[in-house]
Amino acid sequence: MVKGTISITAVLILATVVMAAQSERGTIRGTVTDATGSVMPGVTVKAVNVDTGIETSTVTTDAGLYSIPQVKPGNYRVEAERTGFKKLIRENVRVDVSGTVGLDLQMEVGEVTQVVSVTDAAPQLKSETSDVVTAVNPKTFIDLPLNATGGRSAESFIFLAPGTTGNTFDAHINGSQTLSKEIQLDGLSMTIAEVGGDPRVLTLPPDALQEFSIATGSYSAEFGNTGGGVERFTIKSGTNDFHGSLYEFLRNDVLDARDFYQGSRAINRQNEYGGSIGGPIFKNRTFFFFNLNYFKFRSGPSNQIASVPTAAFKTGDLSELKNADGSLIQIYDPATTRSDGQGGFTRDPFLGNIIPESRISGVAKKVLGFVPDPKSPGIVNN
């Protein structure tokens, strides 16, 4: 059996466009005080994304409070300025997916041309929100191996969070039910009503993802529709520098050991390879990111019995389509759909249950040519 898929991810980010609130974005907030501990109103506080140079600024209130919302996950430099005080710079401020960073700033009296730079400070206690969140940064994406259900899956990272058990498809977060979690990509829900939390909705290769976080408890009311945790992923974007990558994931039965009770190794050949590139279109303003991923999987023959269309079915002759009692299962012409005058719809049946050849598209004929012919009589399990 041979299976192949191609995944293409393209992202274009315009920094000058005002975006609506998205839950993958974070917030930096805190209080600005002077050396005596008195609050400082009118201080300009600016957050600068280290990778893209995009700046977001605000001014402290009369109570010395500031809040910079809607910042993309990443590394930031926070600057504070006010006349009569030295400029304060805090480096290495990390904003995780949907994270809130509490960052209090203390300024010193002096000239604004003087700079106080803090590059290494004690980790901030995350007391701004009550949710329990495990964040996975880009370095972890690179360092840890990924292999799940025959392919690489970013869902594997959920097991880094305490209280998560099971496998990538049947994961349980803090004892929750199967398929009860919420999955979001760049702030948009990827969850479908029929199977909430199905990991198959996240088909992006891990190499196209920037960060990931999972909230396992006490999350905000906006996630009231889920009882099994919230997974939040963000796609990579370009920066002010050009970056690219090439990768290959290989599995081959040549490298596998033979099972003690088998005379030969089962065929198992998997290749997942691709590359990515990102960079600036206009520095500090517009960026791009592109990823191409190809997946190819080959295995031995399957013992599964399946049903394939007969030669007559491929030509549009469905006259053999019958119920167990031998009665014909009538098919209808969708092109004749019309109102039945009673709030419903009706259609004309195909005469003899045969679809005219002129109604079968050339594309369908090509596809049917790849479907193998039956090896047994009948139309079921043939």
Q: What are phi and psi of 359, to 5 degrees?
A: -90, -5
Q: What are phi and psi of 45, to 5 degrees?
A: -115, 130
How crowded is residue 56: how many other Cβ atoms within 10 Å of its Cβ? 17
Pairwise CA distance, residues 180 & 176, whole Å: 7
Is the overall model pTM greater than 0.85, yes or no? no
CATH code at 132-235: 2.170.130.10
Instruction: Check residue 20 and give its pLDDT.
Output: 43
Domain boundary assignment for the chain = 16-118, 132-235, 311-369
Asked if residue 373 lies in contact with residue 311, where contact means CB atoms within 8 angstroms, the answer is: yes
Q: Say if strands 26-33 and 100-102 run parallel, antiparallel, or are unpaired.
A: parallel
Provide the residue-wise pLDDT of the chain in tens; the chain has 382 residues.
555 555 655 555 554 444 444 467 889 999 999 999 999 999 999 999 998 999 999 999 999 999 999 898 889 999 999 999 999 999 989 888 878 898 999 999 998 788 888 776 555 556 566 667 777 776 777 777 665 444 567 777 778 888 888 776 777 788 877 777 888 888 777 777 666 666 666 677 777 888 888 887 777 777 767 777 888 888 888 889 998 989 888 888 888 887 777 777 878 888 888 899 999 999 888 999 999 988 888 887 767 788 999 999 999 999 999 998 889 999 999 999 999 989 899 999 999 999 999 999 999 999 999 998 998 888 988 8
In the block, residue with structure tokens 């279109």: 281
What are 311's two structure tokens? 């030669």
Strand partners, 67: 29
Asked if residue 114 lies in contact with residue 86, where contact means CB atoms within 8 angstroms, the answer is: yes
CATH architecture of 16-118: Sandwich (2.60)
> How far, in Å, are 58, 185, 237, 273, 276 from residue 240 at the CA level?
24, 23, 10, 26, 16
* Burial of residue 214 (number of CB atoms within 10 Å: 0-12, 13-18, 19+): buried
Instruction: Check residue 213 and give its pLDDT.
Output: 82
> How far, in Å, are 76, 91, 234, 236 from residue 119 at the CA level?
11, 5, 26, 26
